[in-house]
Amino acid sequence: MSNFASGKKAKAISDRSGMAFPYREMLKEWNGSFVHQSEFETKHPQIEMKVHKPDRQSLQNARSDREETAAPILLPLNGLKTSNSGTSVITVTEPSHGRSSSDTVRFYDAASFDGITAININRSAGYTITKVDDNTYTFTVATDTATTGNLRGGGGRVYAGPTTITA
């Protein structure tokens, strides 16, 4: 009794449409429905559960975070201003500079103004500053000529930064 008929003349009723089809053209779907091959639908990939491994907790070749090197900051347009006439004190406007008195600051790309040469402002040793407030500080520059006083200058591409820049 283990032998079944071949079904070459048999008909079967589709579970999906209820229509009769040749038995040999019927297929069983993933959900157990017995349907004709024209009605057959494969299992949707989103129904399959994918096994996800847990996230890894550490890196194999971890490196500690590094401290960024100091970079020059672009000053506002004509951010340098001479003080009273005949003095060589320059007031620098640098918003939220975060500097302290006795820090050394070097200026880059400053133009000559009020009798002070660009070479003198942009000297590589920089200048020791005196903090006035959070947005301004002063420094004294050596000059041979008397300044007019209360003049803004330096140009539009003046940078203030560390005395040395490492790449």
Which domains does the chain show, CATH number per domain?
11-41 (no CATH), 73-161 (2.40.30.20)
- Asked if pLDDT for residue 107 goes beyond 90, the answer is yes
Note the pTM of the prediction, 2 decimals: 0.58
Decide: 114 and 148 in contact? Cβ < 8 Å. yes
pLDDT of residue 48: 79
Q: Tell me what the mean pLDDT of segment 74-103 comes to.
A: 89
What is the spatial distance between Cα 19 and Cα 14, in angstroms, rounded to a whole number?
A: 6
Structure tokens that stand for 166 in this block: 């490492």
Stretch (H or E) spanning 119: helix 118-121
Low-confidence winner among 94-108, 113-127, 137-151 (lowest mean pLDDT): 137-151
The Cα–Cα gap between 106 and 162 comes to 6
> What local confidence, expressed as pLDDT, does residue 160 receive?
92
Mean of the per-residue pLDDT values for the chain? 87
Is the distance from CB of 116 to CB of 154 less than 8 angstroms? no
Amino acid at 1: M
Region 99-109: mean pLDDT is 92
**109-118 pLDDT tens trace:** 999 988 888 9
- Cβ–Cβ under 8 Å, residues 39 and 23: no
